[in-house]
Amino acid sequence: MLASNSPKPDVDTRPNVILFYLDDSGYGDFAHNGNPTIKTPNITKLKESGVNFTQFYVTSPACTASRYSLLTGRYPGRSGLGSWVIGPNDKKYMHPKEITLAEGLKSVGYKTALFGKWHLGSPNEKNQFSKETLPLAHGFDQWIGTNVSHDYDSAMLIKSNPLGNTPIAGYEILEKDLPSNIKASESLTGLCAKATMDFIRDNKRNPFFAYVAFNMPHLGLFVSDDFKGRSRHGILGDVMEELDAAVGAIMNTLEEVGVKENTIVIFASDNGPWIKFSNQSETKYGDTRLQVGYATPFRDGKGSTWEGGHRVPGIISWPAKIKGNRNEQTPVSTLDIVPTIFKIAGVPLPTNRTIDGRDITPLLMPRPNSDTLEEFNFLYSYMDNKPSAIRQGAWKLHVRIGSQTENDYGFTASRETPLLFQVEHDLGERINVAATYSEKVRQMMADLERFEVQLKKEGTFWDTEN
């Protein structure tokens, strides 16, 4: 557990933190990014109140690995999980020695909560129903949400409860078998929003952190009765409009209790969108729940090595401190959230492990003679949590490619014949310039291999237990 020796002021002026994390929502699923038929006015309003990052990245194009990096500031390869997704019957889970965003903030007096999807471990026979699999062991004071994505047959809606004992002590199962439990699945967005609003009202006099991890728009798509048929864009549009309304309701609650000005709000998605659903005729959801999203203008989507899998909407707002209505083209990633929020809240960064993210406060709140932001050096992780590509500045080097659609788009990539794209201008990754910039290829490949050596040398917390 972290400890802070910083004295607390008589009047606590530290900001609250709300972290919205959508599930499988693409860059092109929002009105502020140009979608002509999906209405998201509250998210547009949030964007206008803060900084809109046009190059905002997640480390992995799939659920578990992306969420691990968001909460720890570390690449998925450091997790020891071995895969970008862990299911409800997998033995492993996020190691208890990891220090999460919630744990750090809790150590300096924040009230912490998770509302929505966890997907970093589930108690089961293989892990002896370990209490370390679920959120209360990782810095959260309370939780209501799902253990995994709602499309798993074993997906459950769970609530923390000191008197509960299902599936383990400290929790109670509210609903089981979510894929076949239509009403429960349709209630997830509204339930998440209401719980967040209640938490804000209950903690308006304390600094608080709410991780709002909506289940939608991950397939299958579910929407409450109030939003069915509202959108010109079918059920995906209905789902997005309900999510937008939930964001708006939470923002209104911040204003209602008088804390909106001093609340940092972060908005992002865990990875790119579904752009294809296989075995559509056989799926239990039926065709109507399978309208997929948009990564426009990027190539591919969820589960791919391309920009569409890793480049997502990203907004950071803090009305009291951050000048709003800004479009920022400097690339950043979810790795940067932990060091940045820890810096603002007075939480010391752990020194006994590598933190891969950067403090981006100089970018959010530029001042004369402020610290220079480190150059963007970023690794794209794939299904085994090992790198598929590296980005430095404007350049992206692929050493392997993979696609949700099983489409190679006419390319092959390997360590012997990597692909090089200038992704600040070539958004669709169409023009391979590796032959033209051979020295850049050699330098980036050397940096990628240097990281892999360091990662292997440092190992993971799970390595000491195997």
Residues marked active site are found at: 63, 119
**Contact of 118 with 138, CB cutoff 8 Å:** no
Side-chain half-sphere of 357: how many Cα atoms within 13 Å?
30
Contacts of 235 (CB under 8 A, 6+ apart): 221, 223, 228, 288, 289, 291
CA–CA separation, 63 vs 270, rounded Å? 6
- Secondary structure in 3-state letters for 370-415: CCCCCCCEEEEECCCCCEEEEEECCEEEECCCCCCCCCCCCCCCCC
CA–CA separation, 269 vs 462, rounded Å? 27
CA 219, 132, 19, 451 dihedral sign is negative
What DSSP character marks residue 221?
Answer: P
Peptide bond into 61 cis (omega under 30): no
**Contact of 429 with 441, CB cutoff 8 Å:** no
CA–CA separation, 325 vs 49, rounded Å? 5
234-256 and 41-49 are packed helices; what angle lies between their axes, rounded to 10 degrees? 50
Q: Which helix (H) or strand (E) holds 264?
A: strand 263-269
Question: Strand 16-22 and strand 157-160: pairing?
Answer: unpaired
